[in-house]
Amino acid sequence: MNKAWIFYIVLIVIAFVLIVIFSKDIYLWFSNKLFYLLFLVLIFAAGWVLGRFGRGRRRSAER
């Protein structure tokens, strides 16, 4: 086996072990970030809907 393959396998095993050990912390961090991201998307969508449908039609010429 090539030394590069062994190096990558060791890195994958270490990453897997770290994910298993810190899975609860990763889950809490991701859930907080996901809530924040959904909150921002909701605010953007509300602003877009208000901007798109909330105002009257534009008039090209005032009479």
Task: Find how far residue 29's CA is from the centre of its chain.
Answer: 12
Q: What is the mean pLDDT of the chain?
A: 86
State the Cα–Cα distance between residues 12 and 5, nearest whole angstrom.
11
The answer, yes or no, to whether residue 18 has pLDDT greater than 60, is yes
Give yes or no for residue 59 having a pLDDT over 90: no
Measured CA to CA, the distance from residue 15 to residue 9 in angstroms comes to 10
Spatial separation of the C-alpha atoms in residues 30 and 22, rounded to whole Å: 12
- What is the pTM for the complete model shown? 0.49
Q: How many CA atoms lie within 13 A of 52 on its CB side?
A: 6
Confidence of residue 53 (pLDDT cuts 50, 70, 90): confident
**pLDDT at residue number 61:** 56
